[in-house]
């Protein structure tokens, strides 16, 4: 990566964070290229490249009169990761929204996978389910097996649009969550129901039951993760107080 590209990325990252923190509000004009170049001791070419990156993300629009901040709702999914990293702990509502969205994609994949699976693929899903059951008592060791199951279902479903959206969401979210060291405490009774429903869905080729099982799993996951984040935020507030 060239020096100019590195500097432009640093400028873009800083401005993006300032926009997301509303240091520049919607409709407000950013400083001129000349002023930004002076601020960062960079060339105007590097500043122009940084502004172009922000425009591609949908955070600003560039006009002859300068760059103006756009509504956050008009931005691309590429800003989800930076939004999650604005503070030590992510916004619980943002996490909840992510998990609801990802659950919808995973549910759709599960339905299509059960409908489309050939005999060999059905056997493979059943073997993955056996591994899930073997680790049902330990949520932490169970997670990699859930990932394998969901990814295999996505492969069978072969819905390119869903997979591309899912890949982008995972890239923006999963690493941040893992770095937090969250340990979901799922309701064992509900988790057993999820696994039983999934088993029945594969045995009966019931796509709706498969979808509802995956949806139920993500509901449990969402409730647990959001509760953990809220608890940590409350502890931080107590310490600060």
Is there a single domain that holds both residue 30 and residue 95? Answer: no
Is there a single domain that holds both residue 100 and residue 124? Answer: yes
> Given this model, what pLDDT does residue 64 score?
87
Residue 164 Cα distances to 57, 123, 159, angstroms:
17, 26, 9
When mean pLDDT is compared across 42-56, 59-73, 132-146, the lowest value belongs to 132-146
Is there a single domain that holds both residue 108 and residue 48? Answer: no
More confident residue, 147 or 210: 210
Is there a single domain that holds both residue 96 and residue 158? Answer: yes
pTM of the model: 0.84
Q: How many domains does the chain have?
A: 2
Beta pairing partners, 66: 63
Backbone angles phi, psi at 69, to 5 degrees: -75, 135
Q: Are 48 and 37 in contact (CB under 8 A)?
A: no
C-alpha–C-alpha distance, residues 233 and 90, integer Å: 9
- The model's pLDDT over 21-32, given as tens digits with 9 standing for 90+, comes to 999 999 999 999
> Given this model, what pLDDT does residue 21 score?
94
Q: Are 107 and 211 in contact (CB under 8 A)?
A: yes
Q: What CATH number did the domain enclosing 210 receive?
A: 1.20.120.530
Domain holding 87, by residue range, is 79-240
Enter the tokens of residue 200.
């029945």
- The model's pLDDT over 149-200, given as tens digits with 9 standing for 90+, comes to 999 999 999 988 888 888 888 777 776 777 777 777 888 899 999 999 999 9
C-alpha–C-alpha distance, residues 178 and 57, integer Å: 25
Q: Are β-strands 60-63 and 66-69 bridged in parallel, bridged antiparallel, or unpaired?
A: antiparallel
Is there a single domain that holds both residue 100 and residue 219? Answer: yes
- 48 pLDDT above the threshold of 60: yes
Per-residue pLDDT band for 119 (boundaries 50, 70, 90) equals very high
> Given this model, what pLDDT does residue 166 score?
83
Is there a single domain that holds both residue 185 and residue 207? Answer: yes
Enter the tokens of residue 111.
């339905």
- The model's pLDDT over 69-114, given as tens digits with 9 standing for 90+, comes to 999 999 998 898 888 888 888 899 999 999 999 999 999 999 999 9
Is there a single domain that holds both residue 115 and residue 55? Answer: no
């Amino acid at each position: 990566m060239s020096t100019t590209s590195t500097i432009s990325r640093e400028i873009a990252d800083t401005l993006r964070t300032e926009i997301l923190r509303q240091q520049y509000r919607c409709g407000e004009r950013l400083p001129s290229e000349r002023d930004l170049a002076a601020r960062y001791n960079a060339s105007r070419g590097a500043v122009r490249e940084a502004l172009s990156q922000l425009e591609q993300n949908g955070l600003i629009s560039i006009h002859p009169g300068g760059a103006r901040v756009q509504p956050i709702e008009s931005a691309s999914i590429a800003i989800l990761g930076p939004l999650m990293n604005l503070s030590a702990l992510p916004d619980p509502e943002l996490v909840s929204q992510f998990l609801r969205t990802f659950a919808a994609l995973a549910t759709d994949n599960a339905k299509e996978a059960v409908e489309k699976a050939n005999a060999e693929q059905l056997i493979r899903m059943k073997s993955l389910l056996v591994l899930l059951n073997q680790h049902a008592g330990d949520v932490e060791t169970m997670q990699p097996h859930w990932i394998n199951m969901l990814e295999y279902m996505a492969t069978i479903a072969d819905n390119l649009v869903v997979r591309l959206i899912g890949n982008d969401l995972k890239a923006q979210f999963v690493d941040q969550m893992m770095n937090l060291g969250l340990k979901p405490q799922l309701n064992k009774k509900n988790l057993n129901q999820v696994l039983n429903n999934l088993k029945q869905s594969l045995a009966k080729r019931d796509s709706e039951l498969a979808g509802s099982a995956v949806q139920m799993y993500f509901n449990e996951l969402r409730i647990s993760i959001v509760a953990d984040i809220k608890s940590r935020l409350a502890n931080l507030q107590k310490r600060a107080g």
